[in-house]
């Protein structure tokens, strides 16, 4: 493993986890691993075991996780996000080009100051998220998975100045999308843009008769936060009432409670990879229902 990493020229990564041991044990500074290596030397010879000693010392010097210093769920989540980030960075060194590189029909409104459409003016999925605190790794991994599955998506993470309406390009994308995926994070409700998007998706969903779907993801928040039972989102709405019209804020409240009651995924109870895989699977089934049924029939 260490030899392969050294020969890779920096393209491979080792992520150690110290499970009921300390890094100093792996560095052979205590008898825990040192005694084991002494036994191996007697059986296998010094030359071979010296390579193992070097490998242990090298890996123990790397950044890793010690089980005793964090909950297993926290460590698993941290390691998973690091692996996902390494994978995404390897596949897409410049994520801004994903719409052109892998999903030519995807739309990615990312240019500051105006709405920019890449490809066509249609997308299967509309992603709504607060870029300021939603893990870019999670969003990128989800986009990567959707793109690989042949799903066209629209995402926009620009903030709006107070009082400014969301652009016509975003409204068109919301109206034409069949699937909406709001990613509720801790400060999602503090973003007027996010709430306007959410209200527009709920209104569009309620008026549509062609089977539009909303799939919420709860990113570091609970359902009761989105239902406005706690102060997490409740305080945000109180602040908005001081700036925006009462009717508009009431529509935001309705949208939050409506979407918060739908079946969704909580990132604190499932791994990133599991949630992304499940959400992508549902989106694929919604887009290709007949194709999925044909597969089951065979």
* CA 112 from centre of chain: 22
State the Cα torsion 19-90-285-168 to the nearest 10°. 120
Nearest to 219 by CA among 273, 139, 125: 139
Q: Which residues are catalytic?
A: 197
**220 phi, psi to nearest 5 deg:** 65, 25
What is the rounded CA–CA span in Å between residue 275 and residue 295?
23
């Amino acid at each position: 493993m260490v030899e392969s990493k050294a020969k890779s020229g920096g393209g491979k990564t080792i992520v150690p986890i110290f499970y009921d041991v300390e890094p100093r044990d792996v560095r052979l500074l205590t008898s825990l691993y040192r005694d084991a290596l002494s036994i191996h030397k007697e059986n296998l010879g010094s030359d071979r075991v010296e390579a193992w000693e070097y490998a242990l010392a090298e890996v123990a010097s790397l950044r890793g996780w010690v089980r005793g210093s964090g909950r297993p769920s926290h460590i698993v989540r941290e390691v998973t996000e690091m692996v996902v980030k390494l994978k995404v960075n390897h596949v897409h060194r410049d994520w801004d080009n994903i719409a052109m590189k892998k999903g030519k029909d995807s739309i990615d409104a990312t240019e500051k100051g105006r709405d920019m459409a890449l490809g066509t003016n249609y997308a299967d999925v509309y992603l709504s998220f607060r870029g300021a605190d939603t893990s870019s790794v999670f969003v990128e991994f989800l986009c990567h998975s959707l793109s690989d599955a042949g799903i066209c998506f629209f995402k926009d993470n620009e903030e709006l100045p107070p009082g400014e309406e969301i652009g016509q390009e975003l409204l068109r994308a919301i109206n034409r999308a069949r699937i909406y995926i709001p990613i509720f994070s801790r400060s999602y409700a503090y973003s007027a843009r996010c709430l306007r998007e959410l209200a527009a998706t709920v209104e569009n969903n309620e008026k549509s008769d062609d089977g539009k779907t909303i799939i919420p993801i709860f990113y570091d928040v609970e359902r009761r936060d989105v239902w406005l039972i706690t102060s997490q989102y409740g305080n945000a709405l109180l602040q908005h009432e001081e700036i925006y019209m009462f009717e508009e804020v009431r529509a935001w409240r309705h949208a939050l409670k409506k979407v918060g009651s739908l079946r969704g995924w909580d990132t604190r109870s499932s791994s990133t990879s599991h949630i992304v895989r499940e959400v992508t699977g549902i989106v694929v089934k919604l887009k290709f229902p007949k194709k999925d049924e044909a597969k089951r029939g065979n």
